[in-house]
């Protein structure tokens, strides 16, 4: 589904990714751990194609197609979706209008909003005056409407209160559902700080990104336990 | 009294305006004749009709409580369909209502500048609209001031009275004939909103590339009165300068100004609103959304709080869509008493790339994302504006979208 080879990326002249290699097979969900500023968000933004993230070297391919130079909206149309960590507020643009843009399968936005306790926000300007939890919910609902094949979530649980964590978990689970009787339809690349996400996703693999490089990969729960116990120090030393 | 006025006008006929490019009025021809009979709508060409409709005027008079239509210096059509409402050419109103002398030139001083002076010295009619006491005229009244002869000056004087407890909704379209290239429009507008009355005034301008426009307006709002102004100018015009002054003289009076402006290359817009909150518990709001695609915009606003317990807010937001073009926001707050709650918010700049890319990540192309943001930027939902008038404003924005992007 997604293959990244030797990816080197600059932001305003500063190196943020230093030779990242990553493969996410179809139907698998991988989790990215790492300290603040380690390059996790930069990786997701680069995969999405944001212009600030200048690819100096390497290649990103999605469904067998080299997308390294494709504009953002073409990547979105191919089936890549990103829930932003800090989405911008856009004055004058109604949340409902953005939902309609995402809604490729013509599902009922009202029903979806109702299900996730979001109805009151549809007529509001996008993210203007939204709480942290409301923004995250808006992002996840947009992805549910966009129905991408590769779901990228950038810290979906940060800044969310306990009550809303449950609702968000439900949305994430719906996005990246894993069935016993058939292969999961979507692939996922998820950034998590708190590991809460592991309760809602059957993650297949985990990585630790430090200083723009992938240091460990392995079972996500085990990795997370290690990080909880020893911090990221062990990851720096360990090169599995 | 009229002699005193004329003398004052004479003395001001060379007085430059504080703001805006100075216009040499001698360059423009002054049309005049003694005919007073209306020209009638039948004389309009197909092209005239198309242009007039664009500025929000319904030529079939359908769903209109009244219509006033003037081309250059001549009345074309003047009709009223609802009792309790008066719509008259200004000259006729001055003859019929002697009491008008007490209001005429009271909200706008005749010697403000050379433009007010010219409007007095070379008066070419205009409209008088009045809702009688307690009459709620919710169906819009339309007024159109049309310029057809090239290189002429149109000097009109309008006066609107919403008597105690009444309601008026006025939509005015000002436009020029497609063949007209140059000219000057001077429009004096005086508004009197009496106790508990509500007056909504929506103005859509559609001028030509070399036209100079100098409206001069004054508004007086009494106790619990509400004045709502919406101004839309999205078409090219050489130079437009206006800075209407509103006085809120009675407790509980409210004034709101919303304007949506676009300055294409070669266009200079110097506009704003000034509201003086002279009584307690008065409120004012001035909101402007400006876009330049190469022209120059000065977005002014001045709120003066003279009494405690007044509330006023000023908001200037500007978008620069091309490398050329200037937006200069000049918000002023002036509080004379403690307890005056006054605020302003101004932001001028390009569309944030972050916003465009965000929408692109949802599948919109760069052009579509920009259009969505611009549409949102101009989407000022005007509180209290009748849906029909909001639809007119929305349509004007929609039509100009293509030329913007």
Structure tokens belonging to residue A227? 């990080």
**Residue ranges of the domains in chain A?**
2-237
Cβ distance B363 to A98 less than 8 Å, yes or no, reads no
Note the pLDDT of residue B405.
65
Residues of B in contact with A142 (CB under 8 A): 362
Confidence band (pLDDT; 50, 70, 90) for B383?
A: low
Tens-place pLDDT, residues B21-74: 999 999 999 988 777 777 788 878 888 888 888 777 888 877 889 999 999 999
Note whether B193 and B160 are within 8 A (CB): no
Q: What percent of chain B has pLDDT over 70?
A: 96
Interface probe with A: pick from B347, B359, B372, B394, most Cβ of A within 10 Å:
B359
Tens-place pLDDT, residues B140-166: 999 999 999 999 999 999 999 999 999
Note the pLDDT of residue B323.
85
Structure tokens belonging to residue B74? 């001549």
Which of B108-117, B245-254, B273-282, B348-357 is the least confident region? B348-357
Q: Which helix (H) or strand (E) holds B10?
A: helix B2-12
Note the pLDDT of residue A167.
79
Chain A: nearest CA to B34, how far in angstroms? 51
Residues of A in contact with B319 (CB under 8 A): none
Which of A101-105, B53-57, B254-258, B400-404 is the least confident region? B400-404
The second-level CATH assignment, the architecture, of A2-237 is 3-Layer(aba) Sandwich (3.40)
> Shortest CA distance to B203 belongs to which of B56, B69, B72, B50?
B56
Note whether B168 and B137 are within 8 A (CB): yes
Cα–chain-centroid distance for residue A191? 6
Which of B44-48, B115-119, B387-391 is the least confident region? B387-391
Residues of chain B whose C-beta is under 8 A from some C-beta in A?
A: 317, 352-355, 357-366, 369, 372-373, 375-380
CB atoms within 10 A of CB A69: 10
Tens-place pLDDT, residues B261-270: 999 999 999 9
Confidence band (pLDDT; 50, 70, 90) for B384?
A: low
Interchain CB contact of A109 with B (< 8 Å): no
Note the pLDDT of residue A73.
96
Place of tokens 């100096």: A56
Q: Which residues of chain A have pLDDT under 50?
A: none
Residues 6+ apart with CB under 8 A from B173: B52, B54, B55, B56, B57, B142, B143, B144, B145, B203, B204, B205, B206
Note the pLDDT of residue A239.
53
- Residue B290 clears pLDDT 90, i.e. is over it: yes
> Shortest CA distance to B168 belongs to which of B202, B141, B128?
B141
């Amino acid at each position: 589904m997604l293959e990244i080879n030797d990816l080197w990326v600059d932001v305003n002249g500063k190196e943020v990714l230093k030779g990242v290699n990553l493969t996410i097979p179809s139907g698998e969900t991988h989790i990215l751990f790492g300290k603040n500023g380690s390059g996790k968000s930069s990786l997701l933004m680069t995969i999405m194609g944001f212009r600030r993230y200048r690819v100096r070297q390497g290649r990103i391919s999605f469904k067998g197609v080299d997308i390294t130079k494709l504009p953002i909206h073409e990547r979105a149309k191919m089936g890549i979706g990103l829930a932003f960590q800090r989405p911008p507020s856009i004055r004058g643009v109604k949340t409902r209008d953005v939902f309609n843009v995402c809604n490729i399968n013509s599902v009922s936005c009202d029903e979806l909003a109702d299900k996730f306790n979001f109805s009151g926000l549809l007529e509001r300007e996008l993210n203007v005056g939204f709480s942290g939890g409301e923004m995250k919910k808006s992002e996840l609902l947009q992805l549910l409407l966009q129905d991408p094949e590769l779901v990228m979530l950038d810290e979906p649980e940060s800044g969310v209160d306990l009550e809303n964590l449950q609702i968000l978990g439900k949305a994430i689970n719906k996005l990246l559902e894993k069935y016993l009787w058939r292969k999961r339809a979507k692939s996922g690349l998820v950034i998590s700080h708190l590991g809460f996400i592991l309760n809602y996703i059957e993650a297949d693999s985990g990585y630790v990104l430090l200083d723009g490089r992938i240091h460990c990969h392995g079972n996500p729960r085990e990795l997370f336990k290690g990080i909880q116990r020893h911090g990221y120090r062990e990851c720096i030393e360990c090169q599995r | 009294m009229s002699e005193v006025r004329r003398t004052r006008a004479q003395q001001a006929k060379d007085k430059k305006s504080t703001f805006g490019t100075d216009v040499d009025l001698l360059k423009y021809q002054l049309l005049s004749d003694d005919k007073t009979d209306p020209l009638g709508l039948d004389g309009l060409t197909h092209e005239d009709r198309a242009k007039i409709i664009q500025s929000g005027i319904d030529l079939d008079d359908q769903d209109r409580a009244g219509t006033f239509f003037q081309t250059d210096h001549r009345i074309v059509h003047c009709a009223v369909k609802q009792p309790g409402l008066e719509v008259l050419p200004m000259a006729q109103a001055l003859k019929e209502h002697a009491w008008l002398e007490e209001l005429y030139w009271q909200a706008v001083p005749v010697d403000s500048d050379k433009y007010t002076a010219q409007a007095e010295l070379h008066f070419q009619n205009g409209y008088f609209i009045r809702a009688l006491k307690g009459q709620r005229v919710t169906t819009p009244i339309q007024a159109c001031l049309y310029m057809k002869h090239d290189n002429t000056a149109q000097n009109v004087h309008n006066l609107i009275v919403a008597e105690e407890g009444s309601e008026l909704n006025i939509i005015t379209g000002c436009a020029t004939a497609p063949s007209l290239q140059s000219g000057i429009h001077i429009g004096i507008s005086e508004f009197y909103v009496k106790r508990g009355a509500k007056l909504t005034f929506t103005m859509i301008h559609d001028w030509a590339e070399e036209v100079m426009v100098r409206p001069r307006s004054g508004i007086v709002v009494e106790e619990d009165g509400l004045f709502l102004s919406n101004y839309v100018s999205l078409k090219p015009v050489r130079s437009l300068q206006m800075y209407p002054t509103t006085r809120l003289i009675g407790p509980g009076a409210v004034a709101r100004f919303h304007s949506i402006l676009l300055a294409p290359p070669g266009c200079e817009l110097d506009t704003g609103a000034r509201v003086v909150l002279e009584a307690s518990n008065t409120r004012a709001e001035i909101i402007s959304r400006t876009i330049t695609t190469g022209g120059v915009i000065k977005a002014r606003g001045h709120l003066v709080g003279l009494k405690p317990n007044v509330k006023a807010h000023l908001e200037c937001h500007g978008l620069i869509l091309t490398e050329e073009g200037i937006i200069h926001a000049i918000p002023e707050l002036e509080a004379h008493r403690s307890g005056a709650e006054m605020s302003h918010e101004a932001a001028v700049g390009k569309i944030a790339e972050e916003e465009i890319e965000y929408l692109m990540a949802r599948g919109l192309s760069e052009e579509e994302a920009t259009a969505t943001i611009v549409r949102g930027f101009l989407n000022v939902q005007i509180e209290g504006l009748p849906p029909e008038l909001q639809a007119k404003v929305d349509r004007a924005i929609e039509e100009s979208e293509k030329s913007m992007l």
